[in-house]
């Protein structure tokens, strides 16, 4: 559009194709944004460079406003002259479509509703930072449910007489069972949880109050011990946090958060009776395959973790979960 000669020639070609194809009965903007009819594009058909543009518009679910010289895609409007913005917009639209395709897959798409919710969950894919080659391969295969558990092998047509877990013989050997529920793996499951807990504890600035790790609150007669309690006597703020590393799946991270909050909600009254007027009971959730839960963000803002460090902190928590799950898988593989 910046070169008037090119713009004039391009518009002339579009008008010519529209006139030949429709006999001048349809305006060029309407034809350009309409889906191709059956048989269009075949040999000897009436076409030009605009034919390829028209197909691309349909592929990206986009439209062109000829009068205002803009491209509309995904609810966003970009002027023709902003080529870089157009490329970025179309790339984002295609990325969104691929993610939606994965999410709708009955088996391999189950984890993608979680791992696609925040960029921190996937930062290692491009950069490879904080992660070993073995952990990288494990994470990609695990998220696609391609690791050779007995249920996957049977699904792939292998002869598997018994799909029970060979370690505990209690449940079917699914990836979720191996990484989160198998009794003999409890030590490594706990180690993964504790590593994320201690990373969160160290990230909290010292001025936010006293920290209590896995300790009962004075005055609480139950045997429950929340993972982390931060008490600030000066501002009368109390924050109770329980860490959870659930397996990824549709709604599973949200379900884990609700369960943790409900488990410790009774502490609100006890802390208020001690003079803490600002009490929050919350959970800190990281999926066992490295999913960062966006609902962690309000908690991190409350704890005043440095904005400068937050980006690295999210990535490290994601890696920590993958690292712990990889150790569990390696133990299972060597069994």
Give pLDDT tens digits along the chain (335 positions). 567 777 777 777 777 777 776 666 667 777 777 776 655 555 555 555 666 777 777 777 788 887 777 888 877 888 867 778 878 888 888 777 777 777 777 777 788 889 989 999 999 998 888 899 999 999 999 999 999 999 988 888 888 888 999 889 889 999 999 999 999 999 999 999 999 999 999 999 988 999 999 998 888 888 899 999 999 999 999 999 999 999 998 899 999 999 999 999 999 999 999 999 999 999 999 999 999 999 999 999 999 999 999 999 999 999 999 999 999 999 988 87
Strand 76-79 to 210-213 pairing: unpaired
Tell me what pLDDT residue 50 has.
Answer: 66
Tell me what pLDDT residue 19 has.
Answer: 75
Tell me what pLDDT residue 140 has.
Answer: 94
The answer to whether the CB of 306 falls within 8 A of the CB of 205 is yes
The answer to whether the CB of 258 falls within 8 A of the CB of 120 is no
Q: Which of 66, 17, 71 is nearest to 40 (CA)?
A: 17
* CA 14/CA 70 separation, integer angstroms: 16
Strand 278-285 to 237-244 pairing: parallel
Tell me what pLDDT residue 265 has.
Answer: 95
* CA 179/CA 252 separation, integer angstroms: 14
Q: How many CA atoms, within 13 angstroms, populate the side-chain half-sphere of residue 285?
A: 28
295: Cβ–Cβ under 8 A, 6 or more apart, which residues?
253, 254, 257, 285
Tell me what pLDDT residue 24 has.
Answer: 64
Q: The dihedral of CA 327, 175, 321, 216: what is its sign?
A: negative
Q: Which of 216, 335, 321 is nearest to 266 (CA)?
A: 216
Length of the chain: 335
Tell me what pLDDT residue 149 has.
Answer: 92
Angle, CA of 284, 289 and 290, to the nearest 5°:
50
Q: Which of 92, 52, 89, 51 is nearest to 70 (CA)?
A: 89
200: Cβ–Cβ under 8 A, 6 or more apart, which residues?
228, 241, 243, 284, 317
Tell me what pLDDT residue 187 has.
Answer: 96
Tell me what pLDDT residue 97 has.
Answer: 78
Coil, strand or helix at 186: helix
Tell me what pLDDT residue 44 has.
Answer: 53
What angle do helix axes 4-22 and 49-59 make, rounded to 10 degrees?
80
Coil, strand or helix at 144: coil
């Amino acid at each position: 559009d910046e070169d008037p000669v090119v713009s004039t020639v391009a518009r002339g070609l579009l008008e010519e194709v529209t006139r030949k194809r429709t006999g001048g009965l349809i305006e060029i903007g309407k034809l350009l944004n309409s889906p191709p009819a059956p048989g269009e594009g075949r040999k000897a058909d009436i076409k030009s460079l605009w034919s390829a543009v028209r197909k691309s518009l349909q592929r990206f679910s986009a439209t062109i406003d000829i009068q205002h010289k803009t491209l509309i895609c995904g609810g966003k409007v970009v002027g023709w002259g902003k080529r870089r913005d157009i490329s970025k917009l179309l790339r984002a639209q295609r990325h969104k479509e691929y993610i939606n395709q994965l999410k709708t897959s009955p088996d391999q798409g189950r984890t993608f509703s979680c791992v696609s919710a925040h960029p921190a969950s996937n930062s290692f894919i491009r950069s490879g930072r904080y992660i070993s080659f073995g952990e990288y391969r494990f994470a990609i295969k695990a998220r696609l449910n391609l690791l050779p558990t007995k249920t996957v092998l049977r699904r792939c047509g292998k002869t598997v007489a018994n799909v029970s877990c060979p370690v505990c013989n209690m449940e079917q050997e699914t990836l979720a069972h191996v990484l989160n529920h198998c009794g003999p793996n409890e030590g490594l499951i706990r180690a993964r949880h504790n590593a994320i807990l201690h990373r969160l504890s160290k990230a909290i600035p010292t001025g936010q109050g006293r920290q209590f790790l896995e300790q009962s609150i004075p005055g609480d007669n139950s045997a429950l011990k929340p993972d982390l309690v931060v008490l600030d006597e000066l501002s009368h703020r109390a924050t109770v946090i329980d860490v959870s590393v659930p397996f990824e799946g549709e709604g599973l991270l949200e379900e884990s958060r609700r369960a943790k909050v409900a488990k410790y909600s009774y502490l609100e009254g006890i802390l208020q009776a001690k003079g803490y007027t600002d009490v929050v009971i919350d959970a800190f959730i990281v999926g066992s395959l490295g999913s960062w839960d966006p609902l962690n963000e309000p908690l991190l803002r409350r704890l005043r973790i440095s904005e400068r460090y937050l980006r690295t902190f999210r990535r490290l928590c994601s890696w920590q979960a993958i690292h712990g799950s990889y150790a569990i898988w390696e133990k299972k593989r060597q069994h």
